Amino acid sequence: MKVAVMGAGAVGCYYGAMLARAGHEVMLIGRPSHVEAVRANGLRLETKTFDEQVKLGASTQADAVRGADLVLFCVKSTDTESAAAEIGPHLSPGALVLTLQNGVDNDERVRSMLPSSEVAAAVVYVATEMAGPGHVKHHGRGELVIAPSRSSEQVAQQLAAAGVPTQISGNVRGSLWAKLVLNCAYNALSAITQLPYGEVVKGHGVADVIGDVVAECLAVAKAEGVEIPGDTDAAVRGIAETMPTQYSSTAQDLSRGKPSEIEHLNGYVVRRGEALGVPTPANRVLLVLVKLLESKPQKAGA
């Protein structure tokens, strides 16, 4: 396949590099400093089992999606509409735009901007971070759950062959909500404390707070008519066990003085709770605290 990664952050770089290692032609679209490093030396993919410089293309321009069979759409949820509008004029007919983002409604938002394109949602379970320009570090997991589409079967096979466990699910909305519950439980707490998941859960009273957040999320999902698959409590416990050294994407954003996606995580649950008459006080507190930290001036040299 010819693959483009729109929004080449930690998630997009990981999956792009895995596909490039398997022989696919991959183009990363990202920030200038990252693009320059990749053009000069390739992308360093550091995992627990290998550490390689992966050769792939890199560009700062949205028109680099031209000719791609698959577009991994990995921008922040706050940039969904603007990024979709940027790539729209350059998409090839028949290209699959796969949304690998936090939140539960990004595929719908992309589809509204690209009504003539094939768009499918993906649920992402991976722990990654950018360790510097041109350097992505993988901490654990990496599987995808994707929605059915004309191209999903072929894409799933190619991803699996590239070492990315991928399944197709008719209930991706439920799986997106399952991931949202995990994000709401951990992201803000990791961001506020600037601690990885394994350390967060050791805090006195943290388990009770996480329990309150999860219960609110499940109540909102039920009111939405969403069926969340699997054992939610086991999945919540499993995050700290399988990704103990991972800092949430929200924590990484705050540490770099960047806006976070909290409005599309706990904030989304709060807004839907208000609309549906479901109280969400624990999620509201976490939302407000993260927003306060976002607005806090950065110290000199930070």
Give the integer Cα–Cα distance in Å for 85 and 239: 34
Position 274 scores a pLDDT of: 98
* Average of per-residue pLDDT across 172-193: 97
Give the integer Cα–Cα distance in Å for 95 and 98: 10
Position 297 scores a pLDDT of: 79
Confidence band for 170, pLDDT divided at 50, 70 and 90: very high
The token pair at 6 is 């729109």
Give the integer Cα–Cα distance in Å for 151 and 172: 16
Give the integer Cα–Cα distance in Å for 95 and 204: 49
Q: Tens digits of per-residue pLDDT, 106-138? A: 999 999 999 999 999 999 999 888 999 999 999
Position 302 scores a pLDDT of: 45
Parallel/antiparallel/unpaired status of strands 51-54 and 43-46: antiparallel
Position 299 scores a pLDDT of: 63
pTM of the model: 0.90
Q: Tens digits of per-residue pLDDT, 244-293? A: 988 999 999 999 999 999 999 999 999 999 999 999 999 999 999 999 99
Position 16 scores a pLDDT of: 98
Q: What share of the chain is helix, strand, coil (3-state, %, to 5)?
A: 50, 20, 30
* Average of per-residue pLDDT across 162-183: 96
Give the integer Cα–Cα distance in Å for 82 and 14: 23
Position 139 scores a pLDDT of: 87
Cα–Cα distances in Å, from 103 out to 8, 208, 267, 300? 18, 23, 10, 33
Q: Tens digits of per-residue pLDDT, 184-234? A: 999 999 999 999 999 999 999 999 999 999 999 999 999 999 999 999 999
Sign of CA dihedral 78, 253, 75, 174: negative
* Average of per-residue pLDDT across 132-152: 95
Tell whether the model's pLDDT for residue 88 goes beyond 60. Answer: yes
The mean pLDDT of the chain is 95
The token pair at 256 is 């770099």
